[in-house]
Structure 1
Amino acid sequence: MLRRAPRECGSWWWDLDDVTETGLVPALGTAARMAAVLGKHALLEPSSLEWDWFERGRGGLGVHTRLGLMGSRLDDPELAEQARACRPVGHPAAEMSALLVTGPGERLDAEGEPRREPRLVELTVSPDPYGCWAEVAVHHDVWSPCDFGGEPHPAVHANNAPRLAAALRALDALLGVPGEPGEPTYFGVAEGHGLKAPELVDGLGPDLTDLL
């Protein structure tokens, strides 16, 4: 079974303030376009949306919503209405946080065989009227030269990392702005359109399994 880190191994962030309008419908439109690019590389097949609710001046409400797409397109106007209808009844002023698009994707094993994996690549877009942004994050070791135990896996890396890099470059072209690598975590560092290679000691990378 492929192990998944509790924090991202790498993430890439796009500032879209000068690229798209603010609000839920434009955010879902951006998500649809980005998901289509990721889908061409078999990295994400959207199946649900997830988000939290908050109130301005109060903060988070501790309410989380997951809405299955049930075959709906992300840019379907009815989906936006369904999402708004999920507002907690006791909080009429509640607003939606960033929207997480989840679904399965395909990784390639060492022999190049595709393996369907839930939440292989995650896409987040912001509907905040005060700022537009999007993020792509990965949580698995198939994008790194070493697995989480520190063992090099060159065939797995060669079969997967170029696919992610190609998708990120395509997203840069789609959005018209370059994605910025996100903050490093215990599990990896984004660099360019991939993950920074770890330092090897006696041919092995760091063992990260203690926090898996």
Structure 2
Amino acid sequence: MMGVLFRAPVEVGSWSWDIDFQGWPGVGDLLACLNETVPVLEGEELLRVSVISVRWREKGGGEGVKITYPVGSVVNESGALEPFHIELPSGLSDPMVSTIDLIGNGVWFDEDGERHEADQLVVVFVTSVPGAIGFELQVHHDIWSTYAFDGTPHPTIREKNAPRLARAIEGIEEVFRIEAEPGEPTYFGTSDRYGVRDPQPEEIFDGRGPDKTDQF
């Protein structure tokens, strides 16, 4: 199989965690959350962070500002993200961090077991709201399901990739000591606790799953 993946315009699956927090989480609190969870994703080779994107907004509301940083400029000698490397935006008088997005590549395996890299194999971001930190994990590809986007069955590809995603979700649950909350179904997939649910039996015709390519 060629190492080419189609990426759905919306998530195929998503999982979120809400972590209670006293007060309004700051940039250091969000980075601490990421420092605990990124190693779980790195351990499964689902994410190698290259850039972090920090979104700021005025504490009282108004327009926001996004600043991106190469990951090498915001980590310490041990590789942990450090808040004192994050510059405050000059255009805001009273900035509050809103969201931090992680951008990077992940490894997936084809049916022959060959390794390939894909940009944003997983999407990870954390958000700050009064009283909580929100952590979300999303996937946008079909390798986590038994069927490709065009309905072709590819169970071997699923077997080589989906267990890694399941272990990562379980690992993040262990970090937070909170069960994952599967996201709402989309046209491209439905999440269960540890992965992407296969189509229902009534959606399978002549051994093929539903064709989703009309939405690309």
TM-score (norm 2): 0.87
| Percent identity of paired positions between Structure 1 and Structure 2 | 35
Q: Does residue 40 in structure 1 map to residue 43 in structure 2?
A: yes
Partners in 2 of 1:45 and 1:2 — Cα distance? 18
User: CA separation in 2, counterparts of 1:51 and 1:144?
Assistant: 32
Q: Which amino acid aligns with 1:207?
A: D
Instruction: Give the Cα separation in 1 of the matches to 2:63 and 2:156.
Output: 43
Between Structure 1 and Structure 2, the one with more strand by share is 2
Q: Does 1:66 align with 2:68?
A: yes
Is 1:22–1:132's contact at 8 Å kept on the other side of the alignment?
yes
TM-score (norm 1): 0.88
1:110 aligned partner: 111
**CA–CA distance in 1 between the matches of 2:9 and 2:95?**
28
Aligned length: 207
- Structure 1 counterpart of 2:128: 127
Counterpart residue type for residue 206 of structure 1: P
C-alpha root-mean-square deviation of aligned residues, in Å? Answer: 2.2
1:45: how far off? Answer: 0.9
1:8–1:138 Cα contact (<8 Å) kept: yes
The match for 2:54 is 51
Whether 2:207 is the aligned partner of 1:206: answer: no
Distance of aligned partners of 1:130 and 1:20 in 2 relative to their CA distance in 1, 3 Å threshold: closer
Any runs of at least 4 consecutive aligned residues in structure 1 with deviations exceeding 4 A, and if so which? 18-21
C-alpha displacement at 1:51, in angstroms?
A: 3.5
2:33 matched to which residue of 1?
A: 30
For residues 176 and 19 of structure 1, the distance between their equivalents in structure 2, rounded to whole angstroms, comes to 17
8 Å CA contact retained: 2:47, 2:104 = yes
Q: Distance in 1 between matches of 2:23 and 2:95?
A: 23
Amino acid at match of 2:15: W
Measured in 1, the distance between the counterparts of 2:131 and 2:174 equals: 24
Stretches of structure 1 that go unaligned for 5 or more consecutive residues are none
Q: C-alpha separation between the residues in 2 aligned to 1:19 and 1:193? A: 29
**Contact 1:52/1:60 (8 A) holds in 2:** no
Q: Deviations over 1:24-56 (max 9, x none)?
A: 112101101111011111111111112333334
Please report how far the alpha carbon of residue 60 of structure 1 lies from its aligned counterpart in structure 2 after TM superposition. Answer: 4.0
